[in-house]
A and B are shown apart, each in its own frame.
Chain A
Amino acid sequence: MIASIDVKKCVGCGNCVNRCPLDVIRLNEQKKAYIAYPEDCMTCYICERYCPAGAIYVHPFREALPKIFTQEY
């Protein structure tokens, strides 16, 4: 899941905003990217890979999903 965007590093190019398949990221009025819809992130790293400033960190763990079995395993 997307974890953070470093505003100090962000140069406002909009790559992450335009490329995120799930529209998770938006630019604010100061032209800084922010995580607008964190719950929709699918951990695809597209934003991080195309950020020219190295401002984005996506944690590799995906969100937990409802269980397949009732018992823990």
Chain B
Amino acid sequence: MEKKLLETDVLIIGGGSAGMWAANRFKDLQPDKEVVIVDKGPKDWGGLMTMAGGDFDAVMPDENIADWMEDFVYYFDGLCDQPLMEEILKCSFDRMQDYQRNGCTFFKKDDGSLKSVPQRGLPHVKLYPAQLKGRGGEMMVRALVEQLQQKNVKRLGRILITDLLKQKERVVGAVGFDTLNGDFYVIKAQAVVAATGVGGWKTSYGKNTPTGEGVELVYKAGARLKDFEFSRVWNMPKYFGWEGQTTLMPLGGRFVNALGEPFMEKYSPILKANTDPHFTTIAMAMEIRAGRGPIYFDISQINPDDLVLLKPQNGWQLMNYEKLRDLGMDLFRDNTQWVPQMTISYGGMDAGIHGETNVPGLFAAGTARSTEPGVYAGGFALMTTSVTGYLAGEGVARFLEEQPQVEITLDEDEISSLQKEIYAPLGKDGLSPKAVLTEIQQIMFPYNVSIIKTETALQDALHRLKTLQLTKIPQMAAKDAHYLLKLREVRAVAFVSELYLRASLERKESRAGHYREDYPQRDDAYLGWLTIEQDAAQQMQFAWEPVPTAQYKYPITRYYSDNFTFIKKD
């Protein structure tokens, strides 16, 4: 194993949508400066976007930003960072145009206009599906990689960054290791962008790389986090993966219980099935708990003309559909069994419009920064990650213009102790990361921890998790560099699980994607973001950052969660 030293102006951790956009924009502004993107996955794979269908939210020039803002303030139950969201919406059409200019096409109707699909029963928010449904994200990755090549951005794959380096409070680089051959990397940089995505629980297709090492490393460097009480509780087929069900809902797709009842009508008489999947999942779990499971997906109400938009035509979606059909399972013919499932965490860095965090020299981009409180409109992520990546690129460019270049002197003792810590589990006998992951999943997945939360269940889970962190995490071992990566991932999954449990206990109300059965009403005392920071004694400090309603442009008068009967109104 070798030790490798790199030096660059800007280090971008994570080559997903956000990281690539940040690099791209930075290079437009400062073409002579050097940028390196480092990713734990394959070089140029593009993160989750490589699997994305390509649905994109954008406010068209003939629409009003204010209309969309009102939708989001309502949809987020007030937890909307209004200046940030306004900026995202303002830039959304420009980023969509950038994609179109670079060869990505969106689905057009017969009259040549773009096809849009309204989202979650909201009056204005809508997505634009990619032309090649199922390969839209892949095309976007290709377009961005081409740009990065032209602009001379250096890209490295299969390297996990584990720790940030600081000099007098300013972030000046990072260390990590090559997950194939184990080489140790030390990277000096004038500024760092963390575009590392979210945390999560490795629940199969598309959810196996967002595991939270980025969350752990920025937290250790002093970054303020927020929104960890929210997790993505989604619905998925019991036996296989499926993508695209959210596009089916506004067009008549729905879930039915074992009695054949379309139960969402009962839980949400106004929105019915056409709502946010987090609320559908809560209702699903309630039906199963009441003995009315299993739950099936029913497409009998969809207009056959719309099915052309919905049938998988490309990429993963088509291959998946055909493989399942060959096994006698046709989602477009049969009712298939679906289950509620916790998948990834929301939550991320608390950052300003241009990605600036509370730590000088550290910028946040994409889903690594928090933008939504546990509800999710289709097409939202490709919009927010492109825009926040772009804005972080601008933030870093300004930072480097305004701040003096620092002479970086490495603290060799610190580096060798980080190196020792990284390789300590290597070549030893011990627990396999996968076995420990399964134990974490067993703690986290029960419905009263992940979906319909209660104090007792959360406390019990936290107690079990703390025991696991003390007894099992240190006993994990890695045969080789591959397993060393998996081990770090599982450690981060445990860390993010702790953030989720503690934050869920703190928010004693139900709001947006967070549902507490023992506090089933909204409480104005919690109209704010729950932030988390490490204090000097290395303890987790929680604090409330109230929504600054007096300064905000859009009043909070309506709440999306009021549409659901399980949210109690005093």
Q: How large is the interface on B (under 10, 10 to 19, 20 to 34, 35 or more residues)?
A: 35 or more
Give the complex CA separation of A43 and B155 in angstroms: 26
Cβ contact within 8 Å between B204 and A45 = no
Cβ contact within 8 Å between B205 and A44 = yes
1/0 per position for A56-67, CB-CB distance to B under 8 A?
001111110111
Collect the chain B residues with CB atoms within 8 Å of residue A69's CB. Answer: 285, 288-289, 293, 446-447
B445, CB-defined interface residue at 8 Å: yes
Smallest CB gap from A48: residue in B: B319
B166, CB-defined interface residue at 8 Å: no
Cβ contact within 8 Å between A62 and B208 = no
B179, CB-defined interface residue at 8 Å: yes
Q: Which of B458-512 contact A (CB under 8 A)?
A: 482, 485-486
Query: Which of the 9-residue segments B264-272, B320-328, B354-362 touches chain A?
Result: B320-328
Cβ contact within 8 Å between B445 and A21 = no
1/0 per position for A23-67, CB-CB distance to B under 8 A?
100000000000011011011111011000000001111110111
Cβ contact within 8 Å between A68 and B208 = no
Cβ contact within 8 Å between B239 and A62 = yes
A66 with B319, Cβ < 8 A, contacts A37-B482, A61-B240 known: no
Partner of A42, one of B207, B294, B324, B327: B207
Give the complex CA separation of A62 and B324 in angstroms: 12
Collect the chain B residues with CB atoms within 8 Å of residue A61's CB. Answer: 239-240
A21 with B208, Cβ < 8 A, contacts A60-B240, A60-B327, A68-B450 known: yes
Give how many A residues have a beta carbon under 8 Å from the other chain's beta carbons: 30
Collect the chain B residues with CB atoms within 8 Å of residue A46's CB. Answer: 50
Collect the chain A residues with CB atoms within 8 Å of residue B442's CB. Answer: 66
Give the complex CA separation of A59 and B204 in angstroms: 13
B206, CB-defined interface residue at 8 Å: yes
B262, CB-defined interface residue at 8 Å: no
Collect the chain B residues with CB atoms within 8 Å of residue A20's CB. Answer: 42
Give the complex CA separation of A46 and B340 in angstroms: 26
Partner of B482, one of A23, A45, A62, A73: A23
Cβ contact within 8 Å between B441 and A43 = no
Min CB–CB distance B156 → chain A (angstroms) = 13
Q: Which of B283-301 contact A (CB under 8 A)?
A: 285, 288-289, 293-294
A9, CB-defined interface residue at 8 Å: no
Max chain A C-beta neighbours (<10 A), residue from B207, B451, B482? B482
B158, CB-defined interface residue at 8 Å: yes
Min CB–CB distance B445 → chain A (angstroms) = 5
Cβ contact within 8 Å between B434 and A60 = no
Cβ contact within 8 Å between A68 and B340 = yes
B250, CB-defined interface residue at 8 Å: no
A66 with B486, Cβ < 8 A, contacts A39-B434, A45-B320 known: no
Cβ contact within 8 Å between A45 and B441 = no
Give the complex CA separation of A36 and B293 in angstroms: 38
Cβ contact within 8 Å between B339 and A68 = yes
Q: Which of B393-443 contact A (CB under 8 A)?
A: 434, 438, 441-442
Give the complex CA separation of A44 and B241 in angstroms: 9
Collect the chain B residues with CB atoms within 8 Å of residue A36's CB. Answer: 482
Max chain B C-beta neighbours (<10 A), residue from A39, A43, A73? A73
1/0 per position for A11-24, CB-CB distance to B under 8 A?
00000001111110
Partner of B51, one of A40, A44, A65: A44
Smallest CB gap from B450: residue in A: A68
Max chain B C-beta neighbours (<10 A), residue from A39, A46, A66? A66
Min CB–CB distance A24 → chain B (angstroms) = 9
Give the complex CA separation of A46 and B208 in angstroms: 14
Min CB–CB distance A47 → chain B (angstroms) = 11
Cβ contact within 8 Å between A60 and B42 = no
A67 with B445, Cβ < 8 A, contacts A23-B482, A37-B482, A45-B320 known: yes
Min CB–CB distance A23 → chain B (angstroms) = 6
B45, CB-defined interface residue at 8 Å: yes
Cβ contact within 8 Å between B289 and A65 = no
Give the complex CA separation of A45 and B240 in angstroms: 13
A62 with B240, Cβ < 8 A, contacts A37-B482, A68-B341, A68-B445 known: yes
Min CB–CB distance A68 → chain B (angstroms) = 5
Cβ contact within 8 Å between A22 and B203 = no
Give the complex CA separation of A31 and B435 in angstroms: 31
Smallest CB gap from B447: residue in A: A68
Collect the chain A residues with CB atoms within 8 Å of residue B323's CB. Answer: 58-60
Give the complex CA separation of A5 and B285 in angstroms: 39
Smallest CB gap from A63: residue in B: B204
Min CB–CB distance B150 → chain A (angstroms) = 22
Max chain B C-beta neighbours (<10 A), residue from A36, A49, A61? A61
Give the complex CA separation of A47 and B482 in angstroms: 18
B316, CB-defined interface residue at 8 Å: yes
B6, CB-defined interface residue at 8 Å: no
Min CB–CB distance B71 → chain A (angstroms) = 31
A44 with B206, Cβ < 8 A, contacts A21-B41, A68-B446 known: yes
Q: Which 6 A-B residue pairs are closest in the complex by CB-CB distance? A: A73-B293, A62-B204, A42-B208, A60-B323, A66-B442, A66-B441
Known contacts A19-B45, A40-B434, then 12 further A-B pairs from the complex at CB < 8 Å, ordered by chain A residue: A21-B50, A21-B208, A23-B179, A23-B180, A44-B51, A45-B320, A49-B319, A60-B241, A66-B445, A68-B285, A68-B450, A69-B289
Please name 16 pairs of A and B residues whose Cβ atoms are closer than 8 Å in the assembled complex, sorted by A: A22-B209, A40-B486, A42-B202, A42-B204, A43-B204, A43-B205, A43-B240, A44-B206, A45-B320, A60-B323, A62-B240, A65-B341, A66-B441, A66-B442, A68-B339, A70-B446
